[in-house]
Amino acid sequence: MDTPDRMTRRTLQVAALLARPAGPAWRNDPNRPMFAQMIAGRLLNEGQLPADLGLGEKPFAALCLHYFPGGSITLPKPAKPFHKEAMPEWDDIRQLLISHRSSYSNSELW
């Protein structure tokens, strides 16, 4: 049997995450598919985001519990660790995004 290509594996991973039984408030959040894409990419060891997506261990666990319940999600560490110190504008970009969000939901903070 052939191994699926990267995009097929990613699509299947996203579908599996979105099939998890999140509650109505979380299932219908427009950020849920984006989170599924980010997590799927890390599960496939793509990109350079940290294993907790840069959120910290507890916020990442809360995100997974709300949006993708039904089992723990452990992301692999990236081959090359991300250090926000290497990007001096990190805090400025984060603050800009937070100050211009459309509402005040946790998903926008995450």
CA 63 to chain centre: 8
Q: Average per-residue pLDDT in the chain?
A: 82
Encode pLDDT of 39-93 as tens digits: 999 899 887 778 888 888 898 999 999 999 988 888 877 766 666 666 678 778 7
Question: Exposed, middle or buried by CB within 10 Å (0-12, 13-18, 19+), for 56?
Answer: exposed
- CA–CA gap between residue 70 and residue 47 (Å, rounded): 25
